[in-house]
Amino acid sequence: MAPFPIHTPFATRERTHGRLPRADHFRSAGRPAAAVRHGLAATGILWALAALFVALGPAPVHADPLPATVIYGVASDNDIYSFDPATGQIVDTISTASLGLSGSLANGFALNRERAQVYFLSTDKNLYYWDRPSGGLGLLATAAQLGIDTLPIPRNATFFADRYWYIDSGANNLLMSASIVYGPGGLPTGVTLETPLTITGVTGSLNPNDLAYDPDVGMLYGSDLSSATNTFFQIDMSSLSGDRPYTALYTQPGVGVQLAFDKDFSTLYGADYETGQWYTIDTVAAGTFNEISGAVTPAEYRMRDLAGGLAAVPEPGTLALGGSGIAFAAAGLWRSRRRGRSPAAASRG
């Protein structure tokens, strides 16, 4: 499948601060007249480039400073979005139109931070991936390969220990996982279904709305989908085998809270699908869902599931070489002439 264009970091560019070299800068004691002539010729080139810069205008820049972290989510339109959790507003949109997905029940969104890949379930319960470094989109596993072809679509997922994890929605209280298989270039090519783990200590059946794993404490946190219990809970994942104990922590502020840690696992965020309100969540102190003032996502962009956080990257337009880029390049050329940098010095990065 053809790669989908993605965002890449800003190119490094020197600042000229609006200064252009004067001809007399090239004149110094003992310098040959030819060197002065070359300097004057270079100055003429720079003035021509400066005129082109004025004609082209500055290179496009991002309208607002990028947030330190963005949280990824999947919506009912099957597209992937990144959000600024401080405002609840969209930073970027990744179209999945090339996959030809239908339906509006996309869910089970999880983030592989090490590879900057996200995995999500479509309405037909097949697992797809998006690879941020390459922009690749593709099918990763079928519902049958995940063991959910006869079950309702899981409304939760997370990623750790190189596995895609989800709690089955068939009232079995099973924590299921599938190891990801990678091919050339690090792109995922398939899955291996692992032995399900039984969740113990649950009253009734568990049907979480979302999951988020904290590697610092080996704990899996979850948001209960049931309006009867509406519980924020944890599951001890200090071992990846045997029964795993469940503990109810406290009541959530609303039903349908999506969960995601930021890029360095310092903050757990929650986003209420019904209201669009964003929260920071204290996983230790009981009852502390802290509302982020003004952070509300518009109804048309509320996420069916969140995955996790990565460092933000600029929009592709910021990489376009506009007039300012030409001016910067010209100024860099003049500076290298002035400094007379040796090839060895120039190679140091």
According to the model, what pLDDT value does residue 299 have?
Answer: 87
Which DSSP letter does residue 22 get?
A: -
Q: What angle do CA 53, 9, 308 make, to 5 degrees?
A: 145
- What pLDDT score was predicted for residue 324? 39
Give CA–CA dist 335/16, Å, rounded. Answer: 10
Average pLDDT over residues 263-291: 87
pTM of the predicted model as reported, rounded to 2 decimal places: 0.72
49-75 pLDDT, tens digit per residue, is 555 544 544 444 444 678 889 999 998
Q: Bigger pLDDT: 11 or 217?
A: 217
Looking at residue 294, its pLDDT comes to 94
322 vs 119, residue with greater confidence? 119
Confidence of residue 36 (pLDDT cuts 50, 70, 90): very low
Could you tell me which residue, 82 or 252, shows the higher pLDDT?
A: 82
State how far Cα 306 lies from the chain centre. 11
CA–CA separation, 123 and 125 (whole Å):
5
Structure confidence at residue 48 (pLDDT): 57
- Total H helices, total E strands in the chain: 4, 21
Contact by Cβ (8 Å): 305, 120 = yes
For 70-313, the fitting CATH number among 3.30.460, 2.120.10, 3.30.110, 2.40.10 is: 2.120.10
For the chain, percent of residues with pLDDT exceeding 70: 68
Q: What is the mean pLDDT of residues 236-249?
A: 94
Q: Is the pLDDT of residue 191 over 60?
A: yes
What pLDDT was estimated at residue 231?
Answer: 85
Query: Which CA distances in Å does 341 have to 83, 247, 304, 329?
Result: 44, 64, 55, 16
What is d(CA 18, CA 238) in angstroms, rounded to the nearest whole number? 58
